[in-house]
Amino acid sequence: MRHKLKVAIVDDEKDVRESISQWLTLSGFETQEFQSAEKALKVINNDYPGVIISDIKMPDMNGLEFLKKLMIKDSTIPVILITGHGDVSMAVEAMHIGAYDFLEKPFDPKKIAELSKRALINRKLVLDNRSLRRELSDGTVLLKKLVGSSREMVKLREDILDFGRADGHVFITGEIGTGKSLIAQAIHACGVRQGREFISFDCAAYPPNEIGNKLFNRPIDQNTKPIFEQVSKGTLCLEGVEHMPKECQNKLLALIRSRDYSPERYVRIISISEGKNLKGIDNEILPSLFYRLSSLNLELPPLRKRGNDILELFNHFLDLYSDEYGYNSPEINAIEAAQLLQASWPGNVRQLINLAEKAVLQHKKQSDSLSKLLSKEINASEQIETEIQGRPLKEHVEAFEKMLIDHTMRRMRGSITAVMKELGLPRRTLNEKMAKYQLSRSNYL
C-alpha cells in the first residue's frame, strides 16, 4: 500500500497557517489547514497519512490537550509544536507526552521544512509496516495480489483457500520468482491460524551448524527463544528445506511426531523448495520427514505457462511504479505485447516486476524506450518452442485486445464514450468485447 503523505497545519491565526502552508507547498509538500484542534480531530484518524504542525496557544483546546488526544488515537503520529518564548517548559512537557519536536518562534521556514521531511519519512515507515502486518493477517488482501485470470491462477486461488482451511503441513514447489513466499503467507492468512505468528526461515541462508541452533536450541545467556518456540500455535515457513542437514531433519521429524496429535502444541509447517516439482526433492529429505511435510502439496506454474496473465501482470506493475515515481505509464503496442507473451521468463514474476520498473523509469527519458528495453531484456533464444510457438495467432490477438481495452478503460476511468472514441469502436462492438473478456465497467469507476 502506498500512502500519499501530507502535513496538517493547526493554528487559530489564519496568517500563520497560510504562511507555513505556502512555504511547505513551495518545498514540495501537500498541506491541509485547520483553524482549531477540534476541527482537525474530526479529520485525523489513527492512520492519518502525514504529520501535524500545531501551535500550542489556541482558544478552546490548546496544543497540549490536542497532543494528548492525538496520542490516544495513534501514539506514532508525528506532532511538531510551535511555541512562544514563554512556552518552552510546556514544550518540554509535550516531548514527554509524545511530541515529535517543537519549534520556537520566530522559526526559520527551512527548519520547519527539514523537520517535516524527517517526520514524514518516519511516518511512511510506520504506515508501510502497519499495512504490511495487516496484509499478512488478511487472506483476502493477499489473494488480491495474485493477479491473473488464467485457469492456473483460478485453480491456485482455490487451492490456497482449501489448504488454508485444511490446516495440514504444506509443501510448495516452483521455479525461482513464482511467488512461493507470498503463497505461503496467503495460506496462513486464509486459514484458522489467521492472526497468529507466521515466521519464515531460509535454511539456505545459514551454515549447516547454525540451522539447528536457530530453530531448536535456546541460545546460552540470552532471552531469545528458538524459532520453533516463537511460532507456537502459528505457522513456520521453511524456505529451502532441502538444505537442512540430516541431523536437523531428524530433530524436526521428532518434534512433528510429538506435536501432530497435540492441538495445543501443533505448529503448522509450510515448506518451500525451488525444485520445479516434488520429484527428486525427496532424495534430499529423509523419506519419513518428506511424507510428513508433503501431506498437501502445491506446484506453482511458471509465468510462461500463464498465457494472457503476462500482459495483465505487466500492466499492473507498470501502474504501481507509475504511481510510486509519479511518471506516466508507457503504452504497450502489439509488437511489444507479442514480445512479452513469447518470452520464456526464466526469472518468472520477479523478472517481470523488474522489467516493469525499468520501463517506467526509462519511459520518462524517451518514448521508444519500452521497445528497446524489451528487445534487450527478452532474448529470442530464451523462447521455449514446445510451450510458446504452438500458441495460435488468435490467442495473441485476443490477449492484446483485452489488454488494450482494459488499459484504456482504466485511463478513461470507465467512461464508455471516451473509450469508444479512443479505440474507434461503436458501442455495441465495445460491449460485446467487454463481455467476451469479462471486463466490467463498474471496476473502473
Helix axes 427-436, 393-411, angle to 10 degrees: 110
**β-pairing, 50-55 with 6-10?**
parallel
Residue 257 lies in a domain: yes
Q: How far apart are CA 159 and CA 242, in angstroms?
A: 23
Residue 249 lies in a domain: yes
Residues 316-374 have pLDDT tens digits of 899 888 888 878 888 888 778 888 887 888 899 999 999 999 888 888 776 556 777 87
Residues 63-99 have pLDDT tens digits of 889 999 999 888 899 999 988 766 667 777 888 888 8
Secondary element (H or E) of residue 127: helix 109-136
Residue 97 lies in a domain: yes
- Phi then psi for 307, rounded to 5 degrees? 55, -125
Same structural domain, 189 and 270: yes
33 pLDDT above the threshold of 90: yes
Q: What is the DSSP string of 366-421?
A: -TTHHHHHHHHHS-GGG--HHHHTTS-HHHHHHHHHHHHHHHHHHHTTT-HHHHHH
Tell me the pLDDT band of 53, cut-offs 50, 70 and 90.
very high
Residue 252 lies in a domain: yes
391 pLDDT above the threshold of 70: no
pLDDT for 38 equals 93
Domain endpoint, select from 301, 331, 355: 301
Q: Shortest CA distance to 110 belongs to which of 29, 205, 217?
A: 29
Residue 370 lies in a domain: yes
Is 0.85 topped by the overall pTM?
A: no
Mean pLDDT of 175-198: 88
Nine-digit cell at 364?
520518462
Same structural domain, 34 and 125: yes
Please give the share of the chain, as a percent, with pLDDT higher than 70. 86
Mean pLDDT of 22-43: 91
Mean pLDDT of 241-260: 88
Q: How far apart are CA 296 and CA 392, in angstroms?
A: 35
In 19-76, the DSSP E strands lie at 31-34, 50-55
Contact by Cβ (8 Å): 89, 60? no
Nine-digit cell at 48?
492519518
Contact by Cβ (8 Å): 299, 155? no
Q: How far apart are CA 433 and CA 439, in angstroms?
A: 8
Same structural domain, 390 and 419: yes
Q: Shortest CA distance to 63 belongs to which of 42, 84, 47?
A: 84
* Chain mean pLDDT for the chain: 83
Q: How far apart are CA 29 and CA 45, in angstroms?
A: 20
Domain endpoint, select from 285, 301, 317: 301
120 pLDDT above the threshold of 60: yes
Q: How far apart are CA 406 and CA 200, in angstroms?
A: 36
Same structural domain, 164 and 295: yes
Residue 1 lies in a domain: no
Most confident of 116-125, 277-286, 380-389, 407-416: 116-125
Nine-digit cell at 89?
517548559
51 pLDDT above the threshold of 90: yes
Same structural domain, 178 and 194: yes
Task: Lowest mean pLDDT of 61-75, 348-362, 395-409, 422-436, name the range.
Answer: 395-409
Q: How far apart are CA 322 and CA 370, in angstroms?
A: 14
Same structural domain, 212 and 151: yes
Residues 331-345 have pLDDT tens digits of 888 778 888 887 888
| CATH code: domain of residue 35 | 3.40.50.2300
Residues 287-324 have pLDDT tens digits of 899 989 988 999 999 998 888 889 889 988 998 888 88
175 pLDDT above the threshold of 70: yes
Same structural domain, 248 and 341: no
Same structural domain, 437 and 333: yes
User: Number of structural domains, the chain?
Assistant: 3
Domain endpoint, select from 301, 325, 354: 301
Q: Domain limits at 104?
A: 6-135
Higher pLDDT, 130 or 234: 234
Tell me the pLDDT band of 1, cut-offs 50, 70 and 90.
very low
| CATH code: domain of residue 205 | 3.40.50.300
397 pLDDT above the threshold of 60: yes
